[in-house]
């Protein structure tokens, strides 16, 4: 099996040989990388062993994505410190160009943290 990543999908390719011995990769379907759902076409065209291979590949890919995400979170404080340093030294026009996106992103982080860490109804009020 081969996997070609195309945005949020991976195309599943099966390598076959014809009577002359030439090999060809033929698409047998797709898998949604966000949901892990394998297309009906792929399910119909895969053997049990190939289906298991796709599932193992998806599990490895999902685990890797989680590790990347965890690393991004752990590096966030340093990234924010760099953002602060850049804002302090940048031209006003450059800061104005990205200010709305930064404020939106920070508000989303605050909302998610508040929702996750709130233990009592009044705790959510700390988000401001």
* Arithmetic mean of pLDDT over the chain: 90
* pLDDT of 107: 97
Cα dihedral 88→127→97→101 (10° resolution): 130
| Cβ-based neighbour number of residue 14 at 10 Å | 17
Reported as a single tens digit per residue, the pLDDT across 61-70 is: 999 999 999 9
Per the structure block, which two tokens stand in for 75? 């590096």
Reported as a single tens digit per residue, the pLDDT across 112-124 is: 999 999 876 655 5
| Degrees to nearest 5, angle at CA 111 with 110 and 117 | 85
8 has a pLDDT exceeding 90? yes
- Name the pTM for this structure: 0.67
d(CA 52, CA 37): 13
């Amino acid at each position: 099996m081969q996997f070609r990543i195309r945005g949020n999908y991976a195309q599943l390719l099966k390598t076959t040989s014809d009577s002359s011995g030439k090999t060809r990769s033929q698409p047998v379907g797709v898998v949604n990388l966000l949901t892990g759902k394998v297309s009906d076409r792929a399910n119909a065209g895969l053997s049990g062993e190939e289906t298991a291979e796709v599932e193992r590949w998806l599990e490895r890919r999902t685990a890797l994505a989680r590790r990347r995400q965890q690393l991004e979170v752990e590096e966030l404080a340093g990234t924010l410190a760099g953002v602060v340093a850049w804002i302090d030294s940048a031209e006003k026009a450059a800061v104005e160009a990205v200010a709305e996106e930064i404020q939106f992103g920070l508000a989303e982080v605050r909302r998610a943290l508040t929702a996750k860490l709130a233990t009592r109804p009044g705790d959510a009020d700390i988000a401001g």
